[in-house]
Structure 1
Amino acid sequence: MFRLPALSASVADARGRVRARLREWGLGAELRDDACLVVTELFTNAVRHTDSEKITCALHDAGLVIRLEVTDQGCGDRDPVPYAAQDDEEGGRGLLLVSVLAAAWGSDPAAEGTGRVVWAELAVHRPPC
């Protein structure tokens, strides 16, 4: 688990930390790439759509899936939902990408009583022993 300032500049740091942890766990390049894209989208949404000062990221190895959690400090205007971006719109496709890459994703109230945890589970394909 790590906590970073809720700044756009922190997104690259979060991505690098996730990539390094998954590499330490011996997980493949494709999963690392997918997880980095997911954390980029979730962290960016927390920066843009909440008034957080800090954002917490956590990774959990649950065997068949890796669970990635991004926790903000709250005051977002609604639960995250994929947006149907128009062809000429520059943004708005992040949660659609998350939904394609993740086996499951969603959001829950943060344990501290304020904020939200947005999570995604990515399937792990481990070689047989």
Structure 2
Amino acid sequence: MLPTTMHSAEVMVTARHIAGWPEERNSLVPADCWGSAQRVVLRLPALKRAVPICRSLARAWLDGQRIDDEDTRYLVLLVLSELFTNAIRYSAGTRVTCRIGRSENQLFIEVHDRGGTPSVPRMRHPDQEQEHGRGLELVARSSARWGRRVEADHSCVVWAAVPLAAGVRHPVAP
């Protein structure tokens, strides 16, 4: 779970931003790539073509936080992609909210959909022949811990904590 006391920045991505991507990136990402924001909140339309845009914005935030370790970046972007894709696929909502934050030794990722389905995300173990169903298993393997909760309004939050690379110092922004 993300601490709520940290400095954060919010970005609202619209269909116009998506249609004009990548040129629209400059209107969304500040020059310092949110270097002073220990947390970024990304609100995007629940569209497949929003997934790479979410990854691009997360990558910019990682740049601003000076998190350069490629293994850590890969895990964060993988977890974010899987959770965002699941939110689009299994929610009836029109928007998805992604929160990425940090502590001294972990990065926290939350993806919040607007619900509309009675199902709760659960890890499956599909056969080799199946094309889908491995997302939460990848999240579990790529994170120190993960979980999910259904809110009173039937929306769903799935979260994960990805450790910062061992032995690599990532100073927390002031």
Q: TM-score, normalised by structure 1?
A: 0.91
Distance 1:13 1:20 in 2: 11
Aligned to 1:103: 144
Displacement, 1:62?
A: 1.6
The answer on 1:20 being equivalent to 2:35 is no
Displacement, 1:79?
A: 1.7
* Correspondent of 2:50 among 4, 7, 10: 10
Secondary structure of the 1:90 match is coil
Q: Which stretch has the larger CA shift, 115-124 or 71-80?
A: 71-80
Root-mean-square deviation (CA, aligned residues, Å) is: 1.7
| 2:63 alignment partner AA | R
Secondary structure of the 1:59 match is strand
Distance 2:63 2:74 in 1: 11
Kindly indicate whether the alpha-carbon contact (under 8 Å) linking 2:82 and 2:136 is maintained by their aligned counterparts in 1: yes
The answer on 1:117 being equivalent to 2:173 is no
Aligned to 2:32: none
The answer on 1:127 being equivalent to 2:169 is yes
Distance 1:87 1:103 in 2: 25
Structure ID, larger Rg: 2
Deviations 1:56-112 (A, max 9, x none): 0111112221000100001233221111111111111111110000001011234x8
* Correspondent of 2:130 among 81, 89, 113: 89
* Correspondent of 1:38 among 68, 75, 79: 79
Q: Unaligned 5+ residue runs, structure 2? A: 1-40
Q: Unaligned 5+ residue runs, structure 1? A: none
Q: Which runs of 4+ in 1 moved over 3 A?
A: none
Q: Count the aligned residue pairs.
A: 128
Distance 2:153 2:162 in 1: 26
Distance 2:131 2:56 in 1: 24
| 1:29/1:115 CA distance change after superposition, 3 Å | same
- In percent, how many aligned pairs have the same letter? 32
Distance 2:53 2:127 in 1: 30
Aligned to 1:72: 113
Distance 1:128 1:70 in 2: 24
